[in-house]
Structure 1
Amino acid sequence: MTVLTDLTIAAIRDGFLAGDFSAREVADAFNGAVAAGKSLNAFLVETPDHAIAAAENADRARASGDFLPLAGVPLGIKDLFCTAGVQTTAASHILEGFTPTYESTVTAKLFAAGAGMLGKLNMDQFAMGSSNETSAFGNVISPWKRKDGGNAALSPGGSSGGSSAAVAARLVPGATGTDTGGSIRQPAAFTGISGIKPTYGRCSRWGVVAFASSLDQAGPMARDVRDCAIMLEAMSGFDPKDATSLDMAVPNWEAALSGDLTGKRVGIPKEYRVDGMPPEIEALWQRGIEMVKDAGAEVVDVSLPHTKYALPTYYIIAPAEASSNLARYDGVRYGQRALPDGANLQEMYAATRAAGFGAEVKRRIMIGTYVLSAGFYDAYYTKAQKVRALIARDFELAWDKCDVLLTPTAPSAAFALGEKSADPIAMYLNDVFTVPSSLAGLPAMSVPGGLDKQGLPLGLQVIGKPFDEQGVLNASLAVEERAGFTARAERWW
C-alpha cells in the first residue's frame, strides 16, 4: 500500500474521492508523522484533534455524496496566522499565551474548503529572518543533510522555515507561508519544494500578524506546482475586512495548468548576474533557460536597472513599517507583560518590549524608528519609496518584451545554522533575488531545479505580471516537468 504521507495534495484529494482510503486514515498518518518529527522543531503547537475532526467531517460528507475541494487534506499553518482557540505567537515571547478568538481569513477559507490543521508551524520571530534562527522557541532544522558526511544542522530558510521543513520532511502535504521579501520562495528553494507568493492583495492579510503591511502576502508551500495551485485557489479571494484585498474573481488555476510555453517569451534580467554568484547557481540558471526553451518559449534578454537598489530599499521600508506595526505590543492589551516592582507605565512598556522581542526584531524596530524620525524621514524613507517606484517601473517596461522572468531563487544552497547569524548583512543578502518582485507586488514562484555538489536543493524563480498567477504557475510547471526533481531528504530525524 502507498505510504499516505508520501502523497501530494492532489493525490490525497483524488484518492479520497475515489474511496481508496478514508480522510481519517490520512489524518492519523500525518499526525503520526508530526509526532515522529519533533526533533526538527517545525511545530510550535500540534493540533491532532483539529485534523481528526476535519477528517471525520469529510468522511461523513463523502458518505452523503458531498465533496469539498480540500476534503481529507490536513495542512500545517504558519504561526503568523491567527487561529481561533489555538495559540498564535508569531514565534515571539511577547505573544506567548495569546489565543485568538477569531480566525484569519486565509485559514477560514482553507477550513471551509475541507482542510484540517495539523498544527502551528515555527518561523522567524515576526517573520523577520532568512534562516529560522530568530524564533523565540528555537530554530527549525532542515531535514536535508550535506553528503560530505558532516553532521552540520542546516537552515530550512526563513521566515517560513517551519513550513518548508515540514513539507520537505513529509510531516504535512502542504502548508501556509507568508512572503514579505522572499520568505516563501527562499525556504522553498532551500528544502526542495515549491512555493508561490501571489500578487499583493490576492490573499487577505486580515488575521495575519503584520510585519510590513505594504509587502506581506500569504501563499502556499507544497510538494509541487499543482498542489500550490490547488491551495492558492482555496486561499485567495476578496475580503472586505482587508483594505488592500483585490476585488477580483479567483481563476481555476489548477484546471488551466499547462507546461507548454509555445508563444511565450521568458525574460532573463542581466542585473541578476550579481558579483560573486557561485558557478553552481549560474549553471542552474542556464539549465533553466534550456528547460523553458524546450517547453517552446522564446528567451529574451531584459534589463531591470534599479535591481541593485532593491535590498537597501527593502531594508528601509520593511523596518519602517515594522516599527509602526510593532508599536502595539506594549504589554497592555494582549501577550506578555513585564512589570518591575514600582514601575510606572513607561517603565512597564520598556521592560515588556525588552523582554518580549528578540535581537533581530529589536534591530529592525530601531532601524525603522530611525528612518522615520523627523531628521531622517525624507533622506531615507521618502527616498526609498521613490526608488521602490522606479523598481516597479523597471518591471512594467520589461513586460513589453516578455511574459515572465526566470531567475535563481537564492544565491546559494542551504547554509549551516549559525554560519551567518553573526553577520546581519550576509543574512540579508539571501533575499537578493526575491526582494525586487516583492517591492513591486508581483507574483513569483520557486520550484526545485536541481542539486548542488553537496546534494542540497537549488531553486529557480519565475516572476510574472500583476494578476498573472496562471502564467507563473505554467512556466513553473514547465521547469518542474523538465527538471524531473525527485530527490528528497533521507530520513534521519
Structure 2
Amino acid sequence: MSSKLIPDNPAEVMVIRNITPNIVTLSVPFKRFGRFDIGGRGTIVRLTSGSLAVFSPVALTPDVKAKVAEMGGKLEYIVATDIEHHIFVSDWKQEYPDAHILGPEGLPEKRAKVHDDERIGKEAFHTVFTTADKGKQTVTPEFDADFTHEFVDAHPNKELVFLYRPDRVLIQADMLFNLPAVEQYSRVPEEAKPKNGLLNKFFTSMNSTAGDAMGIKRFLWYAISSKDRDGFNKSVQRINEWDFVTIVPCHGETMEALGSSVCWVQLKHVYYDLITYYGMVIFVLINSVAQLLRQKGSWRLGLLLGRSHVAAPKHTSHLPRRTVHLNHFVSKGEAASEAEPPQSTFTVAVKDNIATQAHPTTCASNILRDYTSPYEATVVRQLRRRGARVVGTTNLDEFGMGTHSTHSAHGPVASPAGRSAGGSSGGSAVAVAAGEVEVALGTDTGGSVRLPAAYNGVVGFKPSYGMLSRYGVVPYANSLDTVGLLARSVERIRDLVVGEGLWAQHDDKDPTSLSAAARLRCASGRTGYKGEAAKVGWEGLTFGIPLEYNIFELDPLIREAWEEVAALLQSLGANVVPVSLPTTRQALSAYYVLAPAEASSNLAKYDGVRYGNPGPESENEGGVLYSAARGAGFGDEVKRRILLGAYSLSSEAMDNYFVQAQKVRRLVRGDFDRVFLLDNPLVDKEPTEEGFGEEAEQADLADLHEDVPLLNKRGPARVDFILSPTAPTPAPTLDEALSQTSLDSATNDVFTVPASLAGLPAISLPVDMKEDVHGVGRFAGIQIIGQYWDDARLLDVAVALRGVLGRGLV
C-alpha cells in the first residue's frame, strides 16, 4: 500500500464520527490497487485509563488533532493492524512522540526496505506480534486491561484483530470488508464518487456482507486462507467466541447492530461447493454480469446467468446499503406481476410467511428453504392493485414463533438502534424504521406486529380478526393469525384500510374472512367507514386504563410514558377512567396452550413429502425418514411449540389444558365486551354463565402514580378505547434477547395477547421516553385497543393523537 494512493485533500473529504462515547472513526476515500473504491478508516479509542489508541491511522488533519485533544489528548498507542495499514504511523509518531507503536511481525522489516516514500519512517516498535509468541503476548497493563487481541498469522496480511471489551467493539482491517464504501465517499464531489462499472461490481460483490455473503466467504476460503486453512479457521473460531456488537472495518460500512451471534459467523461458515479459487472468481463474475444485464434490460440472458426463479424485473430496488447489516430482508428486488398497476405509487415489504410469486416464501425455516409459492397472497394482490411495489420479503421468527426475530434460519434481526427488533415481524418493522419502504406487511398472532412496532419506533396495526384475508399466509394458529400493517405514518395505514376499502373486501378463499353481509352489519353500528377521516371530538371519548396492566415488571420509563399520554388525553377533554380486565392474568397462559396446539396441527404437513425439504438421506423408511426431515428442517423453538401443542391436544391433557384455555379465551373476550361502550356485533348480547352482559364492576387504580391527574381513579366505566403500554420494557439488546429463556420471551407479549385472544383491533404508536435507555432505544410503544370492528374509529383516533402528541411519533 503506497501513500501515492491516498487522497490529496484528506481534510476536505474525511468523515469523523462517534461510534460510541469512547470510539471515533476517521473515514476517507481510498482506491485499492489505484482502481477499486474501497475506502479507508482509522479508529481512535479512549481506554478506561484515559489514554488514547489509534488503529490503522489515517491522515492527521487539523480536525483529527482537535478530536484527539477533545478525547483527552494523551495518545499512547499507534497500532498498525496489519502489514498494509501503516502509511501514517510516522506522521502520528512525530506528533505524539511518547506513543508506543504496535504491529505484526514482518512490518518493521517491510518499512525498513522502503526508500521511495518519505512518509514511511524507520521508527522502533514497542510490541511486535509474532507467531512464536501467539496467544501469550502482552502490550502494557492498561492496554491489556481493555483489549483482547488475535494475531491471524494465517492471513497473508498478518492481521491483528482487537476487541475493545468495555464497549464490545471489534476493530479490524482486512479480515472482513463491508463494501460498498458509502460513508468513506460521502464527502467527495459527485464526479469523484465510485463508478458502478463491471470491475467495481465484481470487487464489491466479492467483499460485501450483503445477504448470505457468498462472495466474501468463498474469497476467504479459496484465496485468503488457502495456505493455512486450519490456522485461519482456528483464529476465526476464537474471534467468534468474543462478545461484541459492533465491527469497525477499514474498508466499507461499519456494522453497528449485529452482535457476535450474527456477524463474525459470516467468516466462520464457509461454503465448500466450488472446487478452486478460480471457480469462485467465475461465479462472482457471472453474477456481476447477470446484475449488469438485468439493469440494462437484457433480462432473459441475465436470468440464464443468475437466479432462475426470479421473474423479469419491472423495477430495480436500490435499498440503502447502510442497513444491510440489520439482516431484515430475506429476498430483495421487484419482479413483474399481473396484479401490479402500470404506475406504482408506494413501496411495500412483505413478511416471509406471506406468499409472493416473485420471491421465495421460506417462513425463515430450513424446511421451506428455496420454496417459491405458485400463487400470491390475497392481501399482496390487493396492495398491488392499489399501487404497491413489493421490494422484498422480510425476516422473522421461524413460522412466526418468537418475540425477538432471533429464531430464524436466516439469522437474527437487529433494529436500527442496535437492539432487538421484536418479533415475529421484526424484519418488516426494521424495513419501515430504516426508511426503506412506506408500508410493510406482517402477521400478528399474539402481538407480532405491535411488539416490533414498539421496539422500532413505528406504527403497527392489527385489524379485527377476519377483516383482512389470510389466504396465502402460512398459518401458525388459524384462530389467532391476523395480517397487520406497519408504517411510519398512521394516515397511510388508515388510507389503505378504510379510504381504499381493504376493510370491505371478503375473500371466499379464506374461510375465516368475514362475509360481505357480516361486514356491512358490523359497520352499520360504527362510524368512520365512509372513506374519509372523521374529525375526532376528544370531549366525547372515554379511554380506559386497565388496572391489571399496571404490573410490577413494567419498566418505570414505560409507565411514565403511559401516564403522560393518559394525562395528555385528559387535558384535551377526553375522559380517562380506570377499568378492570381481571382475566388478563390468565390470558398469556391460555395463549401458550392454544397457539402451540394449533401450530402442531398446522405444521404436521411439513414432512419432506407433501411439503418441505426432505431430511438427510436415510436407508430407513416411514417414521424415521419423517423424523429426519422435521428434525433437520425445524428450529428448536418450533420443535418446542410442536411438542407443547401435541401434548395439550393429547387425550390425557386436552380437558385439563386445551379445553380450559378455550374457556379462559371466552372470559377474556367477555372482559372487553363488559367495559366497551359499543357492543360486539358477533356476540349475543344476552347474559351468559361466563358473565357477558353483567353490570360493570368497580375498578381501583388508587396505586397509580400520584402525579397522574385522573379525574376519577375509581369507577365503573364503559369506554370507547383502552390505553395501555405495548410492551412492559424497552427493546433489549440483541445479545440479551438471544440469552432470554422461552418464559422470559413470552412475557413480552403480556399486553398484546389479550386483544389477540378477543380478536380486537389494536394499534401501537411510538412515544419518546424522557430518558435514553443505555444510549439507544428511544421509543416506548403505546397501545390503543378498540371494540370489534371499530377499526375505522380507532385509526381516526390514532391519527388525531399523532397530531397532538407532538413528539415521539414518527
Q: Please, what TM-score do these two structures have when normalized by structure 1?
A: 0.85
Q: Distance in 2 between matches of 1:395 and 1:30?
A: 47
Residues 43 and 34 of structure 1, relative CA distance in 2, 3 Å threshold: farther
Please report how far the alpha carbon of residue 171 of structure 1 lies from its aligned counterpart in structure 2 after TM superposition: 1.1
Tell me which amino acid in the other structure corresponds to 1:421.
L
Measured at CA, do residues 483 and 353 of structure 1 come closer, stay the same or move farther in structure 2, by a change above 3 Å? same
Match of 2:723 in 1: 406
Is residue 84 of structure 1 aligned with residue 84 of structure 2?
no
After the TM superposition, which of the residue ranges 473-482 and 97-106 deviates more from structure 2? 473-482
Instruction: Give the counterpart of 2:631 among 354, 378, 381.
Output: 354
C-alpha contact 1:77 1:176 (8 A) present in aligned 2: yes
1:192 equivalent in alignment to 2:440: no
Match of 2:510 among 242, 250, 265: 242
Deviations 1:112-132 (A, max 9, x none): 212110001111110001100
CA distance in structure 2 between the aligned counterparts of 1:276 and 1:197, rounded to whole angstroms: 25
SS of the residue 2:419 aligns to: coil
Counting only pairs closer than 5 Å after superposition, residues 327-476 of structure 1 correspond to structure 2 as 327-400=604-677, 401-422=718-739, 423-451=741-769, 452-454=771-773, 455=776, 456-476=778-798
- Counterpart-to-counterpart distance in 2, 1:136 and 1:196: 26
Q: Is the 8 A contact 1:189 1:458 kept in 2?
A: yes
CA distance in 2, matches of 1:267, 1:471: 16
Equivalent residue letter for 1:446: S
CA displacement at 1:264 relative to structure 2: 1.1
Which structure has more helix as a fraction of its residues?
A: 1
For the pair 1:213 / 2:531, whether they are aligned, the reply is no
SS in 2 for 1:32: coil
SS at match of 2:738: coil
Q: Higher mean Cα deviation, 309-318 or 241-250?
A: 241-250
3-state SS, counterpart of residue 473 of structure 2: coil
1:430-478, Cα deviation, whole Å (9 max, x unpaired): 0010000100000000001213422521110000000000222122223
Question: Kindly tell me: are residues 413 and 421 of structure 1, through their superposed partners in 2, closer, same or farther at Cα, counting changes over 3 Å?
Answer: same
Q: Distance in 2 between matches of 1:30 and 1:394?
A: 50
Task: Summarize deviations over 1:247-285 as a string: whole Å, max 9, x none.
Answer: 225875762244432301111111100122221111111
Structure 1 residues 310, 335: CA separation in 2 closer, same or farther (over 3 Å shift)?
Answer: same
The corresponding residue for 2:28 is none
| Deviations, residues 184-238 of structure 1 (Å, cap 9, x unaligned) | 1110011110011000000111110000000000011000210111233454421
Q: Does 1:43 align with 2:329?
A: yes
Q: Does the 8 Å CA contact 1:253/1:470 hold for their aligned counterparts? A: no
Contact 1:44 1:121 in 2 (8 A): yes
Q: Equivalent pairs: percent with the same residue?
A: 42
1:147 paired residue number = none
2:315/2:334 contact within 8 Å kept: no
Q: Does 1:107 align with 2:380?
A: yes
Q: Determine the C-alpha separation between the residues in 2 that align with 1:42 and 1:477.
A: 27
Of 203, 214, 227, which residue of structure 1 is paired with 2:492?
Answer: 227
Q: Which shifted more, 222-231 or 32-41? A: 32-41
Alignment TM-score, normalising by the size of structure 2: 0.53
Residues in 2 aligned to 1:424 and 1:392: alpha-carbon distance in whole angstroms: 26
Structure 1 pair 364/344, CA: closer, same or farther in 2 (3 Å)?
same
Mapped partners of 1:469, 1:178: distance in 2 = 17
Deviation track 1:331-380 (CA, whole Å, cap 9, x = no partner) reads 01232111433120211110010011011101100100111111000000
Distance of 2:580 and 2:402 partners within structure 1:
29
CA 1:272–1:29 in 2, change beyond 3 Å: closer, same or farther? Answer: farther
Post-superposition offset of 1:54: 5.0
- 8 A Cα contact 2:315 2:335, kept in partner: no
Q: Secondary structure at the match of 1:204?
A: coil
**Corresponding residue of 1:3:** none
Equivalent residue, structure 2, for 1:201: 466
The residue that corresponds to 1:12 in the other structure is none
Specify which of 572, 577, 580 is matched with residue 303 of structure 1. 580
Counterpart position of 1:117: 390
Conserved? CA contact 1:177–1:184, under 8 Å = yes
CA contact (8 A) 1:288 1:479 kept: no
Question: 2: distance between equivalents of 1:34 and 1:96?
Answer: 26
Distance 1:486 1:284, change over 3 A: closer
Larger radius of gyration between Structure 1 and Structure 2? 2
Q: CA deviation at 1:329?
A: 0.5
Count of aligned pairs between the two proteins: 441
Report Cα offsets for 1:30-64 as digits up to 9, x if no partner.
Answer: 9222555321111101123459x958x21xxxxxx
Quote the RMSD (CA, aligned, Å): 2.2
2:537 to 260, 270, 273: 260
Q: Tell me the secondary structure at the aligned position of residue 359 of structure 2.
A: coil
SS in 2 for 1:288: helix
Closer, same or farther: CA 34–106 of 1 in aligned 2, 3 Å = farther
SS at structure 2 position matched to 1:384: helix
| CA contact 1:323–1:368 (8 Å) conserved in 2 | yes
2:416 to 132, 143, 155: 143
Aligned to 1:22: none
Q: How far apart in 2 are the matches of 1:171 and 1:104? A: 22
Distance of 1:184 and 1:177 partners within structure 2:
6
Task: Give 5+ residue unaligned stretches, structure 1.
Answer: 1-26, 59-70, 145-152, 489-493
Residue pair 1:92, 1:126 contacting (<8 A) in 2 also: yes
In 1: Cα distance, 2:327 partner to 2:722 partner: 35
Give the structure 1 partner of residue 26 of structure 2. none
- SS of match in other structure, 2:319: helix
**Alignment partner, residue 347 of structure 2:** 74
- How many angstroms apart in 1 are the aligned matches of 2:602 and 2:632? 18
Q: Secondary structure of 1:383's match? A: helix
Letter of the structure 2 residue corresponding to residue 430 of structure 1 = N
Partner of 1:485: 807
Q: Distance in 2 between matches of 1:385 and 1:30?
A: 48
The Cα offsets for residues 68-87 of structure 1, whole Å up to 9 and x where unpaired, read as: xxx41111011111112421
Preserved CA contact (<8 Å) 2:413 2:426:
yes
List structure 1 runs of 4+ shifted beyond 4 angstroms: 27-30, 249-254
Distance 1:303 1:354, change over 3 A: same
In 2, Cα distance between equivalents of 1:30 and 1:267: 47
Distance in 2 of aligned mates of 1:200 and 1:190: 23
Q: Secondary structure at the match of 2:767?
A: strand
